[in-house]
A and B are shown apart, each in its own frame.
Chain A
């Protein structure tokens, strides 16, 4: 209860004209940065940092918090409308969002679903943050290398749900994704591996250009075959908010995945090293094990809701270790932390007790940013779907340009453009031959986490595998893993025996 009062105090801090305006500004800027492929919240926050020196720290963090937060909304816009993820968590949103907009011809509803789920997921994350922030941060600490390894092994099995119609091809690309991710520097020894003598490859394959290419640019090459189809008239009806509303039944379909993902995402956001991208992957994978009214991957509301709620919840959850312990969960968190120091605050385990105004002001500003961003995001739906009235013939050169500019902007170099180009061409060829690239992207994100945690665990245990079974959390997770792997095998054997008897 005490936290509720503190939160209300926080709202008193936030509700000044200046702070509300700044939240609004942060939300709008975040939406724009989020929708632009290539530039994530990291660049947006870092570039605005010097601007905020003029404000007092509370106002400054409110603005940056709003920007960081609304960024998660913006990423899904281009994913749904153009099949180009604006930021990396939106890779999963594109899986159902784009078919929902194009095949089912319901772009307005897809955006609506994404916005509402983002709001719900974020709200859950923030409520948990408000009432159990420090406890949540402590729970995150319990996940050391051994526990993370066990958890990631469980998560990796979820790739199985993503491999699509042809499991063999899905597994091939999953493994290719893992190998691509090992290129560059081995963080544990600090020595290069698989860089093939190239200075560029010392830094590995950059993820964002890789995603823009294998999803976005590959999509452009695919669109060429469709450009002469007369699909452009599909939007005759609903260019208004009213026409984009979901039915009550659809809202009911949206809610369970959004709630589940909200809790899951918050938890993932707290874990060391995992972020919004992992959150949205796992949220989607979790939905695979529940029933969806339409099949996932064909434009199901449940699919959009599951990953969007999870990534926003993860963004909120990552504030728990940041505020309670001074530990940034992501690159953006690290920049926010750097900002705190510049403004004369000392982030760390004492921040809540020494700067309560600041901490609760920030938390309450997240609530405000969540609400304001939702309102803005809903209001601009009609303008956003106008993009789809642009003929495909014009979209092809336009998206090509955006892919190039976005890929360049991730590291300000032509290397990013080259990675985008090559992965785009390969992605198109693979897709054409029935290889879906989503498992490759998922394993690219998860495998390095798994590898480094597993190797750290073995260093701690001095080469003994016992570490994964000694402590309760990892033991339980390993049991779950075995259950997941063994269930289909046992079931297969049982049906076979029964079949032979019958």
Chain B
């Protein structure tokens, strides 16, 4: 129960939402206009009001958050995010299809330690969906990456 009092993400969230509200309310008031006599609300009206309420409610949530137990996230939970980031970065260089295949093989074969058979079957099924439905039928032009692009022209 010691974690209960220490500062953590649960307090950071309402602080960040309050900052978010302040930014919107500040820009709304200073840049986008609030009310026009004949035109009614201007672009800044709605965000400003919502920003004010958000700051107040966030403050309330911050006080309540001290009562919440801390729920630290095990590092393992972030692995899919790391994987997704890997695909995003890999796409820029090697293209999306290649990065997806590489991710699937690394994850299934080397992280989850499945057999090659399972690895290849799963990869093939997913690639079939991506290529068949998205690429051929829906004609989504997946990025080819820097390397293939360099050869293309």
Contacts and interface: CB of A to CB of B under 8 A. Distances in A.
On whether A and B touch (CB less than 8 Å), the answer reads yes
Interface of A: 32-33, 36, 39, 43-44, 47, 166, 168-169, 171-172, 175-176, 178-179, 182, 186, 188-189, 191, 193-194, 217, 220-222, 224-225, 393-394, 396-398, 400-405, 408-409, 412, 414, 417-418, 421, 424-425, 428-430, 432-435, 447, 451, 454-455, 457-459, 461-463
Contacts of B27: 193-194
Given A175-B21, A433-B13, A451-B46, A398 B88 contact: no
A176 B83 contact: no
Contacts of B73: 428-429, 432
B24 A182 contact: yes
A412 B140 contact: yes
Contact of A172 (B14, B46, B79, B107): B14
A405 B100 contact: yes
Contacts of B60: 168
B40 A455 contact: yes
B29 interface: no
Contact of B80 (A33, A221, A459): A221
Contacts of A394: 108, 112, 114, 118, 122
Interface of B: 9-10, 13-14, 17, 20-21, 24, 27, 31-32, 36-47, 50-51, 53-54, 57-58, 60-61, 64, 68, 71, 73-74, 76-81, 83-85, 87-88, 91-92, 96, 100, 103-104, 107-108, 112, 114, 118, 122, 126, 129-130, 133-134, 137-143
A434 B65 CA distance: 10
Contacts of B43: 186, 188-189, 191, 193
B126 A175 contact: no
Given A220-B80, A221-B77, A169 B61 contact: yes
Secondary structure at the B interface, as helix, strand, loop or mixed, is: helix
A182 B134 CA distance: 31
A172 B80 contact: no
Contacts of A217: 80, 84
A409 B134 contact: yes
Which 3 pairs, one residue from A and one from B, show the smallest C-beta to C-beta distance? A458-B40, A175-B54, A397-B107
A408 B142 contact: yes
A367 B104 CA distance: 42
Contacts of A36: 133-134
B36 A463 contact: yes
Given A421-B81, A421-B84, A462-B38, A168 B64 contact: yes
Contacts of A168: 57, 60-61, 64
Contacts of B143: 414
B32 A405 contact: no
A220 B24 CA distance: 31
30 contacts: A39-B140, A44-B138, A47-B139, A175-B57, A179-B21, A179-B47, A179-B50, A179-B54, A182-B47, A193-B27, A217-B80, A217-B84, A221-B78, A221-B80, A224-B79, A393-B112, A394-B108, A396-B107, A402-B126, A405-B134, A408-B142, A409-B138, A414-B92, A417-B91, A421-B85, A433-B10, A434-B10, A451-B41, A455-B41, A463-B39
Given A47-B138, A176-B20, A397-B108, A404 B79 contact: no
Contact of A32 (B58, B130, B133): B133
